[in-house]
Amino acid sequence: MIFLFSYGLTALILLAFAVSYIRDKRRIRVGMLLTSGLLLLAFSLMISLLQAANDNDTIMYAAAFGALAFVVLLPLLVIGTGAGLIYNARILWRKEGLKPKNLLTLGLGLLIFAFLGVLISSPLWSPHEELALPIALATTIAGYLGFVFLCYLVSCVLYNLVRPRVPRDYIVVLGAGLKGDQVTPLLAGRLKRGIAFYRKQEDLLYVPPVFVVSGGKGSDEMISEAAAMRNYLLEQNIPDSQIRMEDQSVNTLENMAFSKKIMDAESGEGKYTCVFATNNFHLFRAGVYARKAGLKADGIGAKTAFYYLPNAFIREYVAILSMYRKWHLILLGTVVVLFGLMALVLWWSNRSLGV
């Protein structure tokens, strides 16, 4: 009965995922539903395998080997992840410079090793270990944040698989900082991705879309990002008549909202189609902001150097956590309160027993 219930629940969760994905791919719950459904499916298969093992020695040995492999490989995977993050930080510094925003992979790698050290030195199974409850709380919080990160990655992969098709009336290119008055390689990648879409539509339909280059002027920039992008497009033989500038935005949400105002004013609200161009690691969060701005648009992602991706995805994940911080704080606050009540009960029990 247990495995029948788990299979039924798995089917419901995966059905909810399919409905959510069809309705709107720009929500993190899409990744959460798929991840939860696949994990529950794996659990259901394990239950079925254990039941079958009672009548078949071969299956029993295979199940025991699989469980042993999991126990051995999981710590190795965690250690390998920590070491890989630290190594990636070294590469990132060499190529991009030692900047605060490039410290995320190093910080997370060191945190993983510090946490493993605490677990090894203070085992949770010791009933007299004073740190057992705090470590259990930290493990629970880390597990929750890890699960959300996995769901975020699944959401990103699913959204990157979306391939908007021509024709579109507009291509919104999101700004990404400048070097003097020139676009950076990162921003050039976004522009090249938009140009490729532009050329494809022009070749097929002879009616190219209009670029909306979006980005204001930072305090350390000589000109606005929109102006630099316009200059780049002109150098690539994009006619000036096919370029609109949005040069007031300072973040992705404003990129979407202010670009929408320009397109609404020119074509009428809801009477046009568009895509937005950004880097692949930024695609999902940009899609979330497009939804928040009321813009019906999917994105096209520019490829990013592999060494840059771990730090970029961690930064995007932190931004996603901040975006939904209210719900995360409520859930984590509830966990902390429950552990606090457990600590209070244990303290009262020990006091009553005179321990």
Q: CA 89, 91, 96 angle in degrees (round to 5)? A: 90
Length of the chain: 355
How far does the chain reach from its first CA to its final CA, in angstroms?
A: 43
**Residue labelled with tokens 């070491």:** 83
Alpha helices in 97-219 (DSSP H): 104-121, 132-160, 185-205
**pLDDT computed for residue 340 by the predictor:** 87
Contact 304, 186 (CB under 8 A): yes
Paired strand residues for 246 = 214
Task: Tell me how far apart the alpha carbons of residues 161 and 153 are, in angstroms, rounded to a whole number.
Answer: 13
> In terms of CATH, what superfamily is 170-304?
HUPs (3.40.50.620)
Is it true that the peptide bond before 167 is cis, omega within 30 degrees of 0? yes
Cα 66 to Cα 14, 69, 71: the distances in Å are 25, 5, 9
Q: How far apart are CA 94 and CA 83, in angstroms?
A: 17
| Contact by Cβ (8 Å): 261, 177 | no
pLDDT in tens, the chain (355 residues): 666 778 888 999 999 999 999 999 999 999 999 999 999 888 888 777 767 666 666 666 666 666 666 667 777 888 898 899 999 988 988 888 777 778 899 999 999 888 888 777 665 555 455 667 788 888 899 889 999 999 999 999 999 999 899 899 999 999 988 888 899 999 999 999 999 999 999 998 888 999 999 999 887 788 999 999 999 999 999 999 999 999 999 999 999 999 999 999 999 998 999 999 999 999 999 999 999 999 999 999 999 988 999 999 999 999 999 999 999 999 999 999 998 888 888 777 766 665 5
Phi, psi of 53 (to 5 degrees): -65, -25
Which pLDDT belongs to residue 61? 64
Domain boundaries, the chain: 170-304, 324-353
| Contacts of residue 298, Cβ cutoff 8 Å, sequence gap at least 6 | 25, 26, 159, 162, 164, 275, 276, 287
Q: Which pLDDT does position 122 carry in this prediction? A: 62
Its pTM stands at 0.86
Task: Give the model's pLDDT for residue 191.
Answer: 97
* Spatial distance between the Cα atoms of 172 and 299, rounded to a whole number of angstroms: 9
Burial 20-45 (b: 16+ CB within 10 A, else e): bbeeebbbbebbbbbbbbeebbeebe
Burial class (CB in 10 A: 0-12, 13-18, 19+), 305: middle
The reported pLDDT for the residue numbered 272 is 95
94-145 pLDDT, tens digit each: 888 777 778 899 999 999 888 888 777 665 555 455 667 788 888 899 889 9
